[in-house]
Amino acid sequence: MGAEELGVLIPILVPIGMFAMIFGIVYLTKRERMAMIERGMDPRRYKPQSAPFQTLKWGLLLIGAGTGLFLAYVLDHTLFSKMAGTDDDGNVAIYFALIAVFGGAGLFLSYKMEKKEGDDNKAE
């Protein structure tokens, strides 16, 4: 199957996949509500609760990954290209390493903030 045949299939398969995903989410939500009603539970009482620490964790992870990617780009195009004397993309590993390091630092910072908040609540 060549690229031309795949180019024809993509406009067909993407809407079908999106429809199936939305249909599946709605179907499973309705099925969950029906199961709660069958067990005598009130589905209105169990609304999704916000998770402020979850958003903090994702935010700090993405900020850390972005910082690592930016720092890797700057290092690759300034320091390492001058050392090698070329302008090729031979330092791919530094991108992955710094994304992982700064993403991990963001998760560690999130953990420290959550722990501090938990300790403050216990002290009161």
Kindly report, residue by residue over 42-89, the tens digit of the pLDDT.
888 877 776 778 888 999 999 999 999 999 988 888 887 776 666 566
Judge contact between 91 and 74, C-beta under 8 A: no
Contact 77, 35 (CB under 8 A): no
Q: Is the pLDDT of residue 90 over 70?
A: no
Q: What tens digit of pLDDT does each residue of 19-47 get? A: 999 999 999 999 999 999 999 988 888 77
pLDDT at position 91 over 80 = no
pTM of the model: 0.56
In this structure, the number of other CB atoms found within 10 A of the CB of residue 29 comes to 11
At 89 the pLDDT is: 60
- The CA distance from 11 to 58, in Å, is 32
pLDDT at 44: 83
Residue written as token pair 């402020």: 52
Whether 68 contacts 103, CB under 8 Å: yes
H runs (alpha helix) in the chain = 3-38, 52-75, 81-84, 92-123
